[in-house]
Every structure is written in C-alpha cells, then in structure tokens.
C-alpha cells in the first residue's frame, strides 16, 4: 500500500476513535494542553483559517446589490484564479471517518498550490478553475460552510509539502468537522480559526432567549443571558445561529471590504502561484 494512502487510512482511524465517541470533550485531555501549545508554536505559527458565513445569512452595505451577497466567496475565487494547481478530494475525511448520514461524504476539500500536486491520485482528482468553482457552489448548496486558509495538519495526513504552498478550502458540516473540538481546546491551540474580518453577528429586539442559536453553534459562540442571546468572542461567524433562529432575531452584517481584508490576511501565509 502506498504510504500516502496508508496515512489517509490511519488518519481516518484516529478521527473515528476520537471524534465519533466525542472523546475530545473529555476534561482529561486538558493535561495535554502544554504539549499542544508547543506543537502549535513550533509547526504552525503562521497557520490561519477563516470561516466564511453561510450564503443567505449576511447583509452587506446599502450600496451593494442583493445579488452580491456571495461576497465572502470572492476570497475563494481569488485564490482559485491565482492557483497553479487545483485538486478536489474524493471524500471528506471528517464525514467519511464519522460515517456521516446528513451531508455528502464525497464532497471533500479543495486544495490549491504546488503542494497539492503531491496528493496521491487515488485520493483526489485534478480540476480546472471552473470545476473548482462549481465544487464550492455544490458544497454551499448542500449547506456546507467553507473554512479556508493554511493548515499544517493537511500536509501531515496527506504527507505532502511544502507547508506554505498548500491552500485549504474545507467544506464543513455541523456534525463531523474537526473544528467541533475548538470549544474544548486551549485558546492558544485554536487561535488559528478566525472570523471573517469586518463581520458582525447582531441580536435584534425580537430575541426571546429560546436557545435555538446556542444549540446550533458548534463554536460556543453564543450564550444566553437572561432572556436574550449574547454573541461571545468565540464566535467564528459561520451563520448557523442566524439560520436556526425561529424568530429571525439574529443577523450577520459584513463590511464591503471584508473579502479584501481576508485576502490580505491570508496571502502572506500561503503561496498558491
């Protein structure tokens, strides 16, 4: 068996053993905080991922037309246009490992950049720019959220390099994604996961504190204070709380230059050309 295929199978095994039973929630793992922080500082000092909100949950400045509400996807499109190589995984390692029944397991990550050339052909397929865009659109249509940027772990489980030449577009569901562990890990380990610059989650007067938003949030980004929802610093701006609110009391707004800010933040960290 090829080493890369073996690494992929091994990664699936560890994911299934850790995430499916929810072991990442157990407090005993806190004893590993110190080595995890050291690992982050040594191998991932420049890693950063940005969560892009769900389509249809955001509002942009008044001067922007309604059809431009897909503005956050300009971040993905920018890197697709620059990338010298694009590959789509044949499976999502998180959903496939977790045997997901709610979202398609075959909608895997989109990888861009020179390092993506090293992915074993049994695991992925090379795509054109338009095929890459269509893959992202399909993922959005299925309710998946893009988390994009530089992630050392992807180079590890795929056994590829260099680290700074791989751009990840992860298509995340709310039940299987590895980012579900974020609320249970030390903040210095999870500070690589960012909210889109210029994005704000707003709680309107119609909020009655029903808790639907709290249950929908996978990042512990919403809490209840009395009979009202409050957005916390842990919010990554995915928009699932907005979608879940039965009274439409929550909304997301983003600045017109949010996409440009995100691109300027990510470009120095990873080269896809």
Q: What pLDDT digit, counting tens, does each position of 197-225 carry?
A: 999 999 999 999 999 999 999 999 999 99
The predicted model gives 240-264 an average pLDDT of 93
More confident residue, 22 or 1: 22
Listed in sequence order, the residues at least 6 apart from 267 whose beta carbon sits closer than 8 Å to its beta carbon are: none
- For residues 213 and 252, the answer to whether their CB atoms sit within 8 Å is no
- pTM value is 0.92
Percent of the chain exceeding pLDDT 90 equals 77
The predicted model gives 69-96 an average pLDDT of 90
Comma-separated ranges of CATH 3.30.70.20 domains in the chain: 199-254
Q: What pLDDT digit, counting tens, does each position of 176-200 carry?
A: 999 989 999 899 999 999 999 999 9
Asked whether residue 145 carries a pLDDT value surpassing 50, the answer given is: yes
pLDDT value of position 69: 43
Q: Give the angle subtended at the CA of 203 by the CAs of 198 and 208, to the nearest 5°.
A: 165
Domain 199-254 CATH class label = alpha beta
Confidence of residue 68 (pLDDT cuts 50, 70, 90): very low
Task: Please measure the distance between the N-terminal and C-terminal CA atoms of the chain and give it in whole angstroms.
Answer: 31
Confidence of residue 21 (pLDDT cuts 50, 70, 90): confident
- Proportion of the chain in helix, strand, coil states, percent, rounded to 5: 40, 20, 40
pLDDT value of position 29: 77
pLDDT value of position 256: 84
pLDDT value of position 67: 41
Q: Which residues of 227-248 are buried (b: 16+ CB within 10 A; e: fewer)?
A: eebbbeebbbbbbbbbbbbeee
Q: Which of 53-57, 59-63, 74-78, 252-256 has the lowest mean pLDDT?
A: 59-63
Q: Where are the beta strands (DSSP E) in 99-205?
A: 110-112, 124-126, 145-150, 167-172, 193-195, 199-203
Q: Which residue has the tokens 């979608």?
A: 243
Asked whether residue 70 carries a pLDDT value surpassing 90, the answer given is: no
Percent of the chain exceeding pLDDT 70 equals 93
């Amino acid at each position: 068996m090829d080493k890369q295929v073996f690494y992929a199978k091994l990664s699936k095994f560890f994911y299934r053993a850790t995430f499916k039973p929810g072991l990442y929630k157990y407090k005993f793992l806190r004893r590993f905080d110190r080595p995890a922080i050291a690992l982050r500082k040594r191998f991932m000092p420049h890693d950063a991922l940005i969560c892009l909100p769900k389509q249809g949950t955001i509002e942009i400045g008044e001067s922007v037309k309604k059809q431009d509400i897909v503005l956050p996807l300009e971040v993905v499109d920018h890197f697709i246009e620059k990338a010298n190589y694009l590959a789509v995984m044949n499976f999502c390692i998180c959903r496939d490992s977790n045997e997901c029944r709610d979202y398609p397991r075959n909608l895997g990550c989109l990888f861009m950049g020179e390092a993506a050339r090293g992915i074993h052909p049994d695991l992925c397929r090379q795509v054109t720019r338009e095929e890459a865009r269509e893959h992202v659109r399909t993922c959005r249509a299925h309710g998946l959220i893009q988390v994009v940027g530089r992630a050392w772990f992807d180079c590890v489980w795929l056994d590829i390099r260099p680290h700074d030449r791989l751009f990840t577009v992860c298509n995340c569901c709310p039940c299987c994604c590895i980012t579900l562990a974020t609320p249970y890990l030390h903040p210095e380990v999870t500070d690589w996961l960012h909210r889109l610059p210029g994005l704000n989650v707003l709680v309107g007067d119609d909020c009655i504190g029903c808790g639907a938003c709290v249950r929908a949030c996978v990042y512990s980004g919403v809490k209840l204070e009395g009979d009202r929802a409050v957005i916390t610093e842990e919010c990554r701006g995915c928009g699932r709380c907005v979608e879940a609110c039965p009274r439409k009391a929550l909304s997301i707004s983003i600045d017109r230059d949010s996409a440009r800010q995100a691109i300027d933040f990510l470009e120095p960290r990873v080269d896809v050309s």
